[in-house]
Amino acid sequence: MRSGAPLALATVSALTVARMLRRRGSRAGVRPIVFLDLDETLLRSLLLKGTKADLLASIEKRKKTYRNKTFTDNPQAGKMATFGMERAGRQLAWAKRGIEVVFPDGDRYLVVTRPGIENELRDLVDHADLCVLSAGAKDYVDLLLVQTGLRAMIPFAYSSRQNNDLSWAQGRPWVLVDDLEFSTASTQIKLRQILGLNPMDDDVPVPDQYKQNVIKVDAFQDALPDAKPITGLAGRVKRRLGVVAGSGGLARSAQRLRGSPHGPGREA
């Protein structure tokens, strides 16, 4: 994940987003919203020390090193070498799938989208408005969505480091898909933003009733081509949105929270 310097307030206002939604024919206020984490949920990125070609050459060299070793008098070491060679082979296949993304400051990332995620998102776009809400820097989020082609299905994206105005989401059923648990600091910040609270106010924990709005997925990790492919996400999201839409008390609870001494925390 790209860190970078602290960022300014979001440049896209809630009014602008609402207008965009109307132009898309999404009947703002009716269609549900699916907020999506980026890193380890939709994709995995690796900060490169050189180029993608350098990384591929390094993995290939390691693979050959394991292949050329013989352990006639140490079977256990031979097994470890075989394991290392096979793992290097999988890492090589993973790296070949990735695209090299270069930022204006010269940073290079190898980015691999999660196996199966494109199909899951295509299944969701007709049912909900998709929006990335990531802890990554805004320039990182935007460039990765464009370069991977995911922007075509996810028109809206925010960095949770910014004090975003998400008032356009109020009154609509929503879920957050993330690889982190409900109780983690990162997830709590995102949830407070969605609810219109001050995201950095730790004195206002998000009530447990909003656990049903969070869909936890396994992290896409280990740099392997077959590591944690994602299947069935669209079905899980649709079922959970049905539960959330039937919980009318959640909207009223959010209004009470925003009326507390610690809220609201939004800035347009």
> Per-residue pLDDT averaged across 145-151, rounded?
97
pLDDT given at position 8 = 36
User: 50-64, 81-95, 229-243 — which is least confidently predicted?
Assistant: 81-95
pLDDT given at position 92 = 87
pLDDT at 161 over 50: yes
Architecture per CATH, 14-42+114-257: 3-Layer(aba) Sandwich (3.40)
Q: Which residues contact 228 (CB under 8 A, 6 or more apart)?
A: 114, 218, 219, 220, 221, 222
pLDDT at 260 over 50: no
Residues 193 and 133: beta-carbon distance below 8 Å: yes
Q: Which residues contact 68 (CB under 8 A, 6 or more apart)?
A: none
Alpha carbon of 264 to those of 162, 225, 251, 256: distances in Å?
15, 44, 15, 10
**Residue with the two structure tokens 């969605």:** 194
> How confident is the prediction for the chain on average, in pLDDT?
82
Within 10 angstroms of residue 15's Cβ, the number of other Cβ atoms is 12
Label the pairing between strands 99-102 and 108-113: antiparallel
C-alpha 166 chain-centroid distance: 17
Confidence label for 73 from pLDDT (cuts 50, 70 and 90)? low
Residues 36 and 130: beta-carbon distance below 8 Å: yes
Q: Which stretches within the chain are classed as H helix?
A: 14-23, 52-68, 75-97, 117-124, 138-148, 185-194, 233-245, 249-258
pLDDT given at position 11 = 46
pLDDT at 263 over 60: no
**Residue with the two structure tokens 């470890």:** 80
Give a three-class secondary structure readout of 160-197.
Answer: CCCCCCCHHHCCCCEEEEECCCCCCHHHHHHHHHHCCC
Q: Whole-prediction pTM value? A: 0.80
Query: Which run of H or E residues covers position 208?
Result: none
pLDDT at 22 over 60: no
Q: Is 20 left (phi over 0), alpha (psi -120 to 50) or beta?
A: alpha
130, with CB counted inside 10 A (0-12, 13-18, 19+), is buried
Distance CA 261, CA 203 (A): 10
Distance CA 133, CA 175 (A): 11
Structure tokens given for 100: 């090299």
Q: Greater confidence, 215 or 246?
A: 215
Confidence label for 33 from pLDDT (cuts 50, 70 and 90)? very high
pLDDT given at position 16 = 61
Query: Which run of H or E residues covers position 157?
Result: strand 156-159
Cα end-to-end distance, the chain, whole Å: 26
The domain ranges of the chain are 14-42+114-257, 46-102
